Structure 1
Amino acid sequence: MKRTTNKIQREYMAAKALVQTLEEQEKQMEQAYIAAHGIVNPDGTTPERIYCIMDEAVFDEANKKSAAEIAACGLEAEYNDARAALIAAEDRLIEYGISIAPAGIRATLTKGAKDNYAARQKLIDLVLRLDISTVPR
């Protein structure tokens, strides 16, 4: 059976999944903090995340304390490392995509990936969806 992804694509997918997992853990910690402290917005809704707290004083306090909790358990450092690994994986994925692109458009793709966030994301998406069994060696 032929593989449809290469090592670069798999590394990107793993890095992206780790970042998303850590973001979900942070969200759960924030929700636990909000629930434990009974934080409610003036309109009666319970904020989903710390940044959704409408009362500025409550937000400042919650932000400070929840950030300290996240840092104390090591989640912040782990997230920062995972985010750096994701950016490196994105760069490798873009380099791979540009390397297999027709020679006439490589300079344009390189400039677009460097200067334009939307172009960078589109290139990442296209290379990620690429079935490598269709790429000649």
Structure 2
Amino acid sequence: MAAARSIDPAETARADVLYRALDSCQRQLYMAGRRAEGLAVRAEMLAIGRAQAEVTGHSEVRGLEDWAAGLSEEGRYAEAADAMTELVTAMLPRGRRSGALAWSLLEWIAALHDAGRSGEALAAFETLVGMEAAEA
């Protein structure tokens, strides 16, 4: 990770290289049971994803799904639901994309349910069912 951090910030590939290094690091931290450190690395990944989205103009922010999962694992359900809401809101206009949207919708529904936001979870489920019905 130190090598990725040492790349000149002006280098266009720096963000991608650093993101991949951080992703590898967070996986190792979680496997070692060092959850707080892993979540901190995921926060850094999300910051990179937000910066890249701002530069490119993409509405989907890389790192939101991992960030939401980490928040949920720590019992921070409302924050996880908000992160998944942001992700799914950005994904919906682009459509199914090989099932990625359906899986994200399921994760969003679970996050909303865990946060005690049953009305929103039901509406999200209706979105999923409508999308699947249209596909069928």
**Which protein has greater RCO, CA pairs closer than 8 Å, 6+ apart?**
1
**Larger radius of gyration, structure 1 or 2?**
1
Report the TM range for the smaller structure's normalisation: 0.3 to 0.5
Provide the TM-score with structure 1 as the length reference.
Answer: 0.33
Provide the TM-score with structure 2 as the length reference.
Answer: 0.33
